Chains A and B, each alone.
Chain A
């Protein structure tokens, strides 16, 4: 699938973001954002902070990222974050459940903490207004307020990327496709 815009490569990398290309291909999201260098200059570090290590343990955070991408139907993000989730040590059955269970369905093979986190993610990602009190309260029993804020930033950032990648038809890399096939997540 071809992207709907011309992605910036290292030869055409604008000055403010040239450093992002110095270590090799930074990926299609950076290639898209770099078309607006003043935005990419601040967005790329922000994405790293929002999706990277924080006060919430990485597997929980990645559960939110992958699940949000599933709910919003972002093929690129589901592919890419499945690999990240597996690399973080998420069980393949849990990853499969996150990918294949529709919102409202019972997730098989996950603990209560994960089920609560997924129910909260589904609610926030799909909400057209405030989420139900009981969904928030269930999450608040397991996470501190600052962790809920962090999870919300992670989720909201993921939604931004979901829309970006989907609207621009960003292509999944061959390496990711190969890894997914090897892990049994191929098409």
Chain B
């Protein structure tokens, strides 16, 4: 039985409940497989904090159940902790981060978030520094393994995300799992996903090609418009990809939410999230 709007569709499992915000495309790293070609000095394409908070309130009213904030590196914005406090007071929130910016000052700024429904998802691709850092940059491994326990000690939930090009090596994966457990992150908070052939990975000929059928239809808001999935608003050779663009209108959120729902409902039966990449 199909209800008319996003709320009923989310309630009935026809539309994913998470809405994503690309807070910025800028990043202090330049990972080899980055979907958005993020790096220092790239166009920021930023959503300001007030917009994210406003759209989060609209998302809750439309029936969305949780929020994801990604980038770029969201924590480049010094106001992010305050924004997160407001967002998480409305909906549970996960923030994707490269985990390299959590110095003493930032940890202090994050303290008020302890106890709120916020988790920081930090990228860690290998248990060996040289393997991890080859894709993510010098000293990345050392900064991440230092940051994770400190965040947990500060009362902030942490997830670990591992991105792999090709078939995972079971032994390497076992060692990585041992490492994240030793850092205090449980198995259920470890996600493994493939490199997706978009953005910088596409230019380098890495990763797997995806279509909307491979990606859960998680409404994703950027400064450039609303997209089918957080894997949608990619940048290739400096140009924004629009093949997974839903609408340019992002406010009111009802416009892209209803357009996304129409696209989801128009899909052939069974063509939903073949790969389910998250």
Q: Chain A residues in contact with chain B, CB under 8 A?
A: 6, 8, 11-16, 35-39
Is B242's CB under 8 angstroms from A14's CB? yes
A11, A14, A36, A39 — most chain B CB neighbours (10 Å): A14
B interface size (C-beta, 8 A): 16
Return A12 CB to nearest CB of chain B, in Å. Answer: 5
Is B245's CB under 8 angstroms from A37's CB? yes
Is A12's CB under 8 angstroms from B248's CB? no
Return A122 CB to nearest CB of chain B, in Å. Answer: 36
CA of A158 to CA of B110, assembled, Å = 57
Q: Can you list 11 pairs linking A and B with CB atoms under 8 Å apart? A: A12-B241, A14-B243, A14-B245, A14-B246, A15-B244, A16-B263, A36-B248, A38-B247, A38-B249, A38-B255, A38-B259
CA of A39 to CA of B244, assembled, Å = 16
- Contacts A38-B255, A38-B259; A15 near B239 (Cβ below 8 A): no
Is A15's CB under 8 angstroms from B241's CB? no
Return A26 CB to nearest CB of chain B, in Å. Answer: 15
Chain A residue nearest in CB terms to B239: A6
A-chain residues with CB within 8 Å of residue B242 when the two chains form the complex: 8, 12-14, 35
- Contacts A37-B248, A38-B248; A15 near B255 (Cβ below 8 A): no
A-chain residues with CB within 8 Å of residue B20 when the two chains form the complex: none
1/0 per residue B253-269: CB within 8 Å of A?
00100010011000000
CA of A163 to CA of B246, assembled, Å = 26
Return B213 CB to nearest CB of chain A, in Å. Answer: 12
Return B36 CB to nearest CB of chain A, in Å. Answer: 16
Is B247's CB under 8 angstroms from A16's CB? yes
B-chain residues with CB within 8 Å of residue A36 when the two chains form the complex: 248
Return B272 CB to nearest CB of chain A, in Å. Answer: 14
- Asked if B228 CB lies within 8 Å of chain A CBs, one says yes
Chain B residue nearest in CB terms to A36: B248
- Contacts A8-B242, A35-B242, A38-B259; A15 near B248 (Cβ below 8 A): no
CA of A37 to CA of B226, assembled, Å = 11
- Asked if B72 CB lies within 8 Å of chain A CBs, one says no
B244, B245, B247, B248 — most chain A CB neighbours (10 Å): B245
B-chain residues with CB within 8 Å of residue A15 when the two chains form the complex: 212, 228, 243-246, 263
